Amino acid sequence: MGLFYNFSVALFSALGSFLFGDSGIIGSVVSQQFNHFQSYFGFPGPNIVGAIVSTFAGGCFFGAAAAGWLASHIGRKRTIQLGALVAMLGCALQAGARNVSYLIVGRLIAGWAIGCLSMVVPLYQSEISPPHMRGFLTGLTQFMISIGFLVANWIGYGAQFIQGQAQWRVPLGVQIVPALMLFLGMFVLPFSPRWLVDQGRIDEARVVVQRLHGNNTNKEFIELEFAEMLEQIRYEKENYSTRFSDLWSTPPMLRRTLTGMGIQICTQFTGINVSSYFQPTLYAALGLSGHKILMITGINGALGAITTIIFIFFFLDRIGRKPPLVVGAVGMAVSLAVEAAINAKWGGVDSHNTAAQTAGVAFIIIFSALFFSTSFGPVSWVYQSEIFPMRIRAQGTAVCTCANWACNVLISQVAPIGMARISWRFYILFVLTNLVNALVVLFFFPETKGKSLEEMDAVFGDQIIPHALETKKTHNIGEVDEKSEV
């Protein structure tokens, strides 16, 4: 067991994140190439199309919020299963839609499911990970989101060639398959050991920790890890409440909440969703057209998935969370500044300057596949899932994920208007927001690399419990911050 099992559990649960990316299929379905969709729904105008696309993100917001309550009460594992079940229902409704209202209800329900999964999957991954690998295992969320987007692009491409209503019903319904796999597969995956401890199911929790982290040589580490988990959760139960208002009740708690929401807000203000949702428009503005656009989008997606996996595997747990965020933010600001300059000088739908087109495409790819995928993409999910104490972790993570979806809706509503009205100048906005992001991270975000979830109290300036401090001193593990002793 041990490492391989731990990895397999984290990867399998990330099917929930795959569904998140795969839900991007709607972009292709509402496009003009899907003429059977267009004619079936009576050639919907931009407002209807807007409603079809964006009710989903609204559903996501409420799904993420509900997951906060669900993950504490029915547990992380059952919340993932519920998310998978609701996703099946939402997809079935969309695929079987008979009119626009039917479709919109399906979108809302599927959105609820994806919002719920987007919050609970990284939370589950972080709670089953050992501290030194938490970046990698929780970062699998972002990896699978990128794979989902990639698959959605290619399904969208292929489905255009199907004739009849299947042209849109198949791509909208196809997500039922991974959702069903997730629902069934989760039956054999363990509960989060931390949630089990919180529920008083101590013996089960011990078995899970042993299966996840145990090998023949680390008995002592497992004992200590488990003791720390038990002690911390017991202490929290005895000394703190689990009210929602705890998220801002003390300065250290407020700091956690603001940093968690902050990382998700900053992620949205990198401008990633302008690139995720409107990439074809960005390429068209450089004078590209037809199949080339789809091919480049596919290449960009594939590169993003590759850089994400390399980054989370080799770097995230070694260099920490802050340095890649700062480098990524500056890198994205520079790429977008160059992009703005290229578009200003040589852009335009009828541009034929191939050198400028190549450079323009290259900088969009550098922006997302290089800098975003090695910074805010994976780190946002890792960070929001690791900074809260157990008693309020689910609620805290839910608030952060809601901040993500709220800003997502805002930016994806504003982007088409911005791009149409101010063209390349729109990039400048994100040059500025990325620079602000770099400063925010630099000055306000503490480093969390290598700390156990129980050690986050000390990281955020909260008190840590005397017993845990003693255990750490006796066994010489981690950095002991005497100042924070109760």
Near ligand INS by CB under 6 A: residue from 145, 261, 274, 356: 145
Q: To the nearest whole angstrom, how small is the minimum distance from the Cβ of residue 127 to ligand INS?
A: 20
Q: To the nearest whole angstrom, how small is the minimum distance from the Cβ of residue 267 to ligand INS?
A: 5
Number of residues that bind ligand INS (CB under 6 A): 10
260 touches ligand INS by CB under 6 A: no
Q: Which is nearer to ligand INS, 267 or 297 (CB)?
A: 267
Q: Which is nearer to ligand INS, 81 or 267 (CB)?
A: 267
The answer to whether the CB of 85 falls within 8 A of the CB of 185 is no
267 touches ligand INS by CB under 6 A: yes
Applying CB under 6 A, which part among 191-199, 203-211, 265-273, 466-474 lies near ligand INS?
A: 265-273
Q: To the nearest whole angstrom, how small is the minimum distance from the Cβ of residue 368 to ligand INS?
A: 8
Applying CB under 6 A, which part among 69-77, 266-274, 287-295, 326-334 lies near ligand INS?
A: 266-274
The answer to whether the CB of 27 falls within 8 A of the CB of 50 is no
Q: Which is nearer to ligand INS, 374 or 380 (CB)?
A: 380
Applying CB under 6 A, which part among 119-127, 254-262, 268-276, 383-391 lies near ligand INS?
A: 268-276
148 touches ligand INS by CB under 6 A: no
Q: To the nearest whole angstrom, how small is the minimum distance from the Cβ of residue 115 to ligand INS?
A: 11
13 touches ligand INS by CB under 6 A: no
142 touches ligand INS by CB under 6 A: yes
Near ligand INS by CB under 6 A: residue from 79, 259, 276, 448: 276
377 touches ligand INS by CB under 6 A: yes
Q: Which is nearer to ligand INS, 22 or 457 (CB)?
A: 22
What tokens appear for 108 in the block? 């809302």
374 touches ligand INS by CB under 6 A: no
Picking from 265, 262, 289, 267, the residue whose alpha carbon sits closest to that of residue 361 is 289
Q: Which is nearer to ligand INS, 93 or 272 (CB)?
A: 272
What tokens appear for 397 in the block? 């993570």
69 burial (CB, 10 Å; 0-12 / 13-18 / 19+) is middle
Q: Which is nearer to ligand INS, 272 or 366 (CB)?
A: 272
Q: Which is nearer to ligand INS, 232 or 273 (CB)?
A: 273
Q: To the nearest whole angstrom, how small is the minimum distance from the Cβ of residue 411 to ligand INS?
A: 9
The answer to whether the CB of 275 falls within 8 A of the CB of 364 is yes
Q: To the nearest whole angstrom, how small is the minimum distance from the Cβ of residue 124 to ligand INS?
A: 17
Q: Which is nearer to ligand INS, 72 or 142 (CB)?
A: 142
Give the Cα-Cα-Cα angle 432, 308, 157 (nearest 5 degrees): 90
Q: Which is nearer to ligand INS, 193 or 378 (CB)?
A: 378
Applying CB under 6 A, which part among 216-224, 267-275, 349-357, 461-469 lies near ligand INS?
A: 267-275
Q: To the nearest whole angstrom, how small is the minimum distance from the Cβ of residue 264 to ligand INS?
A: 7
Near ligand INS by CB under 6 A: residue from 272, 364, 365, 415: 272
Q: Which is nearer to ligand INS, 248 or 315 (CB)?
A: 315
Instruction: Tell me which residues in 27-86 interact with ligand INS (CB under 6 A).
Output: none
Q: To the nearest whole angstrom, how small is the minimum distance from the Cβ of residue 350 to ligand INS?
A: 30
Give the orientation angle of helix 393-422 with respect to helix 376-386, to 10 degrees. 150
275 burial (CB, 10 Å; 0-12 / 13-18 / 19+) is buried
- Residue found by looking up tokens 């989760």 in the block: 186
Q: Which is nearer to ligand INS, 179 or 272 (CB)?
A: 272
270 touches ligand INS by CB under 6 A: no
273 touches ligand INS by CB under 6 A: yes
Residue nearest to ligand INS according to CB distances in the complex:
276
Instruction: Tell me which residues in 402-441 interact with ligand INS (CB under 6 A).
Output: 404, 408
List of residues contacting ligand INS (CB under 6 A): 142, 145, 267, 272-273, 276, 377, 380, 404, 408
